[in-house]
Structure 1
Amino acid sequence: MQAGKNAMASVKETAANIGASAKSGMEKTKATMQEKMEKMTAHSELEKEEAERKKQERIREAETEKLEAKQQNAMAREQVRAGHGHSDDHRRSSAAEHVEPAVISSRPIDLETGTGRPSC
């Protein structure tokens, strides 16, 4: 019975770590896209440098959150192995439960690319 709990705890930890990594990747991508938008609308070199600095800070935060989630996931697994937790515990430390979709704007193809295709 304990072996089953240990295996389930490991599976849950792995799934939660995958979720944390996915969220971190999305946050990093979002930071990069926001930086690109800020650089395109920047009026000075100082504004461009500030956009780069904010991107780097967002990336560091995303990486820190991922590492913290992985530590929490490992602690939860160890609690189950030590018999202090439950394999069917409904608490989840996975960051994937709080994922927000990235917001990307789009424009009709013919306006930006010069394809000459009429918009519908």
Structure 2
Amino acid sequence: MKKTLLALGLVLFANIALADGEMTPKHQGVMAEATTGTRAELSTQGNMLMVYLTTHSDKAIATKGAVAELTLLNGSEKQTVKISPSGDNSFMAYGPYKAVAGTKALLKVTLPGKSAEQFRFSLN
């Protein structure tokens, strides 16, 4: 009986741990997580780039006063984009950006009073 209860407990714990670790985009973008547990979603639509920040447990992180830079890599082509806070937990940039399937993106975010965090994306 103890073995059955222990096995059941382990299965339930594993399911909870896996559910917490899932990164599901809310804005049709791609997700990345920094070593600190901060999550970022990069959404590219038309000539607009959006980045949304959340905690590991999916709570919005305020971007007011933050500084961010996004580097887009397409083969040997490199484009650096300054993105500005926009809304409660997002950054935005608008312009002629080359963000297509296969593009690699590196995001550096510095929140007020915190160390810089880095995120890596691969666009689908």
TM-score (norm 1): 0.31
Larger radius of gyration: 1
Relative contact order (C-alpha < 8 Å, sep 6+): which is higher? 1
Decide which structure has greater helix share. 1
Decide which structure has greater strand share. 2
TM-score (norm 2): 0.30
